Structure 1
């Protein structure tokens, strides 16, 4: 199955304009064939995403951001994965739905395979599998592409990684990340609103629609986190659902020396206190003591059939 969008690829903000259908490769490192490293029921997401039955995650090979500190480096940077057809992915997700009762379909860093994902969702819905389609993304997205996703996506789970343009350039080769990501978040919120579990009283348990924004605290980069949270508050207000993560784990050599360690407790506390002082009302927090318990369970090894020990 070929998609015309790959003929002059402009799916992500890098807009490489290469002809992936003809075998050309852009920044993401992937051609026109969909490559996937893992499909399974995942329990490492936020509670309203993983629930009790797991999130039906699809981990794609390649990435349009390619952060130098990525814990999924085996697939984002080293491109581990297998070519799969849309039909095969639909079949595997269908099995997960009927055998495991997954709560959603979760496309992880899918930007460079958007056309494939849209076809997957259409076919699932044709089979009367109408669980939410979740787009788990870096935040570095084109608004034009998000508008194409509007009838397909139910939940957006974007990162907001950087408020610091120089840090974004150094670690992810995209100095324009802060502005691009804020525009993308605004479009996601226009489409779907805040995560719907917070729209009811009492709050719901499993999300079916809306936006939840993640921010990963990076070692030695406390000011970036403080500024990122401030920017989110100023742009979108205190009701924006935020997931504050402390799970950074050194994997690959990184151009910033502080990245050879985990975040310090004092760094986490400074960022957490700032989030609380801003007054965010809907805050998921990964405390460092929880991180230490979970990091071996959910630090993936995509060379294994089951990459996440915590899913077994």
Structure 2
């Protein structure tokens, strides 16, 4: 099978849209991810906003891909997930850009952000990078809505998984991301990631910082959806136990006007505290916590919302996490 074959009847994500993404007509057919078969990238560069074992001192070497198979209505990265921002790039050119970043910035890893709808390209890219001497961990930064078949193929090309677990409520998943099956699909996907790589090594042993291998799960707290968050954490605890590394994110920032009025505001401090309290009560041992911004703290802007129409989307944006066992 060549690089392009999987795009001819695309089954890369759980939506299984079966679109022929290789059509190059004027009205090029795109999958549910919004992308055809040509690799598109919005940004390559160091990023300091990941959890400390991922960002380290020198940053995480991120590659932000255009498009997304989930396409949440509230996406903070809507410019690239839904808005079409990004540039077509060949594999050799992208590999050269990544290697330049590795040499110039001394990043701790190579971090593929929302790569699953381009998995065939990404796997080949990893092979090219390894042949070129890139011995860094390969990080897959994912929505949680992944096909277990695709993840099985990813195993030899991945070292670290950073999946989201967004929803425990199928109705909420349907309303905000058009995927009622998200809770079940994501739990199955995360379970496979854990079987492949185990829990993130850097939280199990501080000697392993920056992280080299393993899984860290993220949960974004949504305004007005505390019950969803509480049940999501309960589901994760039941499935994976207290040693699962968990990152609680409060970074939600309204970037598009939503029908749901709750989503037109930030997370309230009492909502955040309720979710954090539940995580503590459950007994998660390895918590990373992103505390909410205060109103007006950054002049109405947000540390967590990049601008991918600028050459440096994260300029001046360095969010901070509390370390495990300090909250």
Partner of 1:215: 219
Following the alignment from structure 1 to structure 2, what is the Cα–Cα distance between the partners of residues 293 and 197? 31
Following the alignment from structure 2 to structure 1, what is the Cα–Cα distance between the partners of residues 207 and 164? 23
Partner of 2:138: 133
1:255 aligns with 2:259: yes
CA RMSD in angstroms comes to 1.7
Partner of 1:310: 316
Partner of 2:32: 27
Deviation per residue, 1:238-281 (Å, 9 max, x gap): 00000000010000122311000000000000000000000000
Unpaired runs of 5+ in structure 1?
none
Partner of 2:16: 15
Question: Across the two proteins, how many residue pairs are aligned to each other?
Answer: 311
Partner of 2:169: 164
Partner of 1:181: 186
1:39 aligns with 2:44: yes
Partner of 2:325: none
Following the alignment from structure 1 to structure 2, what is the Cα–Cα distance between the partners of residues 288 and 25? 37
Asked if the contact 2:33–2:70 (Cα under 8 Å) also holds between the matched residues in 1, the reply is yes
Asked if the contact 2:3–2:120 (Cα under 8 Å) also holds between the matched residues in 1, the reply is no
Asked if the contact 2:3–2:121 (Cα under 8 Å) also holds between the matched residues in 1, the reply is no
Following the alignment from structure 1 to structure 2, what is the Cα–Cα distance between the partners of residues 311 and 204? 26
- What secondary structure sits across from 1:309 in the alignment? coil
Please give the TM-score of this superposition, normalised by the length of structure 2: 0.92
Deviation at 1:19, TM superposition (A): 1.1
Deviation at 1:2, TM superposition (A): 4.7
Candidates 120, 142, 145, aligned match of 2:125: 120
Asked if the contact 1:37–1:81 (Cα under 8 Å) also holds between the matched residues in 2, the reply is yes
Partner of 2:231: 227
Deviation at 1:303, TM superposition (A): 0.7
Asked if the contact 1:298–1:310 (Cα under 8 Å) also holds between the matched residues in 2, the reply is no
Q: In 2 relative to 1, CA 311–87 (structure 1 residues): closer, same or farther, beyond 3 Å?
A: farther
Asked if the contact 1:159–1:213 (Cα under 8 Å) also holds between the matched residues in 2, the reply is yes
Asked if the contact 1:296–1:309 (Cα under 8 Å) also holds between the matched residues in 2, the reply is no
Please give the TM-score of this superposition, normalised by the length of structure 1: 0.96
Deviation per residue, 1:80-110 (Å, 9 max, x gap): 1100011111101101111111111111111
Candidates 101, 104, 107, aligned match of 2:112: 107
- What secondary structure sits across from 2:222 in the alignment? coil
Deviation at 1:298, TM superposition (A): 3.7
Deviation at 1:203, TM superposition (A): 5.0
Q: After TM superposition, which residue ranges in structure 1, 4 or more long, deviate above 6 angstroms? A: none
Asked if the contact 2:253–2:302 (Cα under 8 Å) also holds between the matched residues in 1, the reply is no
Deviation per residue, 1:163-204 (Å, 9 max, x gap): 01000000000000000000000000000000011332x453
Following the alignment from structure 2 to structure 1, what is the Cα–Cα distance between the partners of residues 306 and 94? 20
Partner of 2:99: 94
Unpaired runs of 5+ in structure 2?
319-327
More helix by share: 1
1:84 aligns with 2:85: no
Deviation per residue, 1:11-35 (Å, 9 max, x gap): 0000111111124212111000011
Asked if the contact 2:220–2:250 (Cα under 8 Å) also holds between the matched residues in 1, the reply is yes
Following the alignment from structure 1 to structure 2, what is the Cα–Cα distance between the partners of residues 105 and 229? 28
Q: In 2 relative to 1, CA 203–286 (structure 1 residues): closer, same or farther, beyond 3 Å?
A: farther
Following the alignment from structure 2 to structure 1, what is the Cα–Cα distance between the partners of residues 317 and 224? 31
Partner of 2:5: 4
Following the alignment from structure 2 to structure 1, what is the Cα–Cα distance between the partners of residues 244 and 277? 17
1:277 aligns with 2:277: no
